Structure 1
Amino acid sequence: MFRLTQSPTYFWPVEFELPDEDQPGKFVKHGFDAMYARLDVDAHQALIDETMNKALSDCEFARRVLRGWRNVLEDDGKTQMPFSAAKLDQLLKVTNVGTAIAKGYMESRGVIVEKK
């Protein structure tokens, strides 16, 4: 079954690795659920065209498609961090996160993204 009218957003997992603070030379996997904008075909293609023309960085791409998140925690490691433009800017300063958000969006659209 299919319902033509769909919600304007959806959740998709985002995963990335960061250096392990306790084990030099090792990485730790991290992740959260991204709330992506459900772009229609035309808006999606325009975004891809702009990206292919190198007019958008991964972080700018992430700003265009991300509408929220869950499982991003405050410093206490327990409290869910509310989504805001300022918190998104802070998140996007973490190495590899902008790329992971962009990759997650593309995977959610059925595009296979190869690891470089």
Structure 2
Amino acid sequence: MKFKLVDKYAYWWPVKVSVPDPDRPGKFLNQTFDMKFEALSKSEADAMSDDFMRLESDEERVKQRDNMLYRICKDWRGVQDDDDKSDVPFSDATFAQAMQWSWFRTGVYVAFSESLAGEQARKGN
């Protein structure tokens, strides 16, 4: 396949989330869904990094890091409601709701990092 030069590059990537099991203390439920990421250009990533380095408090850094997810996460598929009966559509409100849970944020951060690492990292080389 030939390389395509585009203005914005968006792609689907699997996200794995380990949620505490409400029925088994100390155990986790492994859940998965797909997230559509929009890659940051080098100039945008550099600007965000520069802004991040200028922040003085850990609280500001956490907020900035979370804001990056709002910028790069554009859609999801495979996210179900609490009754497992229907898909939850992606929106600013549903994404903000999911962002309240540390395991969701962690899963998305890991997935995005993996998507940037390339084929060799995926294979463990």
Q: Normalising to structure 2: TM-score of the pair? A: 0.74
Task: In structure 1, give the amino acid aligned to 2:39.
Answer: R
Aligned to 1:70: 77
Alignment RMSD: 2.3
Secondary structure at the counterpart of residue 10 of structure 1: strand
Decide whether the 8 Å contact of 1:50 with 1:56 is kept in 2.
Answer: no
Identity %: 30
Bigger mean CA deviation after superposition, 101-110 or 6-15: 6-15
Q: Partner residue of 1:79?
A: 86
Select the structure that is richer in helix.
2
Quote the Cα distance in structure 2 between the aligned partners of 1:98 and 1:91.
8
Greater Rg, structure 1 or structure 2?
Answer: 2
Structure 1 contact 19–27 (Cα < 8 Å) conserved: yes
Unpaired stretches in structure 1, ≥5 consecutive residues: none
Alpha-carbon distance in 2 for matches of 1:26, 1:75: 19
- Which residue in 1 is equivalent to 2:34? 33
In the other structure, the counterpart of 1:45 is 46
CA distance, structure 1, for counterparts of residue 95 and residue 11 of structure 2: 17
Q: Deviations over 1:19-39 (max 9, x none)?
A: 112211211111211111122
Unmatched segments (≥5 aa) in structure 2: none
Aligned match of 1:99? 106
Q: Which runs of 4+ in 1 moved over 6 A?
A: none
Counterpart Cα distance in 2 of 1:51 and 1:31: 30
CA distance in structure 1 between the partners assigned to 2:47 and 2:107 by the alignment: 20
Residue 25 of structure 2 corresponds to 24
